[in-house]
Amino acid sequence: MLLHMSIIQVSGLHKAYGGRKAVDGVSFAVEEGEIFGILGPNGAGKSTTVECVEGLRRPDSGSVRVAGYDPATDRGPLTRILGAQLQDSELQPKITVREALELYAACCPEPADWHALAERLGLTDRLRTRFAKLSGGQKQRLFIALALIGNPRIVVLDELTTGLDPRARRDTWQLVEDVRDSGVTVLLVTHFMEEAQRLCDRIALLDKGRVTALDTPAGLIGRTRSGMAISFRPSAPLDTRPLADLPSVTSVKEDDGRIVVDGTDETVHALLSFLAGQKITARQLRITEATLDDAYLDLTGPDA
């Protein structure tokens, strides 16, 4: 994917509530045409950061620019280029899908064709359905449609798939990828590791109001203390002490007869050769590659 200019620029952002720092010097840039993820534990400052980008909160200090506009002062121009699905989005229970789409389109100076949006998002057969009767996945499809109805250059999606079942979550992921592929820049706030790893081109990892890492998903995973976990049950008693001296081993653990060795590709080959030399078979062998979950745990929390 070819990236262009930085369409969102956040520099030295600070925001406090009653003396408690929610955001403490956050800086990042979002390139036009990417899905940029903001990931972190509860209370990390994710939603406050995004609300400053959206113009819903004014920073105490630092700067935010969205396509050159200051969200705190340029509200009019900003609303014409930015669409948002908020974390706790709701509509009147009795409003129908058609009524919601028509209402939002009427508020936009150059709205998208809401009929086409409804068809694209699989809502055509739900146009007469009241909001309260929609499933969780259908509500999220509607919120995406409402975020896109103003033909934005940027769309903010905050905790989009919380509460959805696995199938609805994956369907929603495909919709987000379709939105990006149509040329819209996506700022995605999530706490689902699998979601971030699947969707995001780059991720800013926030913890305690600060950016602790900013990289591609693969780059973050590459920072983990272990690239792979090799677990097995030895076919005969095994002295685990020599395993710590194998290439790239970072830890060796034994739990109820099962041995877990953390290391890399090189470790796998060396371990299997060592076991063969000892005439020991690795039973119930499992080799698990590091994931974004592993990177998250390594890069957040008290030991980060």
Domain count of the fold of the chain: 2
User: How high is the pLDDT of residue 233?
Assistant: 95
Same domain membership, residue 236 and residue 211 = no
Same domain membership, residue 83 and residue 198 = yes
Q: Are strands 35-39 and 185-190 parallel, antiparallel or unpaired?
A: parallel
The letter for the amino acid at 277 is G
Residue 273 placed within a domain: yes
Same domain membership, residue 112 and residue 205 = yes
pLDDT(272) > 60: yes
Average pLDDT over residues 263-279: 92
- For residue 219, which of 298, 301, 303 has the smallest C-alpha distance? 298
Residue 93 placed within a domain: yes
Taking the C-alpha atoms of residue 112 and residue 117, their distance in angstroms, rounded to an integer, is 8
Residue after which a domain boundary falls, among 215, 237, 268: 215
The letter for the amino acid at 244 is A
Are 66 and 7 within 8 A, CB to CB?
A: yes
φ/ψ (deg, to 5) at 15 = -150, 130
pLDDT(87) > 80: no
Q: pLDDT confidence of 3, banded at 50, 70, 90?
A: very low
Taking the C-alpha atoms of residue 287 and residue 300, their distance in angstroms, rounded to an integer, is 25
Domain that holds residue 113: 34-41+78-215
pLDDT(63) > 80: yes
Q: pLDDT confidence of 232, banded at 50, 70, 90?
A: very high
User: How high is the pLDDT of residue 5?
Assistant: 67
| pLDDT tens digits, one per residue of 28-43 | 999 999 999 999 888 8
pLDDT(94) > 90: yes
Average pLDDT over residues 191-206: 92
Here the CATH number for the domain that contains residue 159 is 3.40.50.300
Average pLDDT over residues 169-173: 85
| pLDDT tens digits, one per residue of 129-160 | 999 999 888 888 899 899 999 999 999 998 88
For all residues of the chain together, what is the average pLDDT? 89
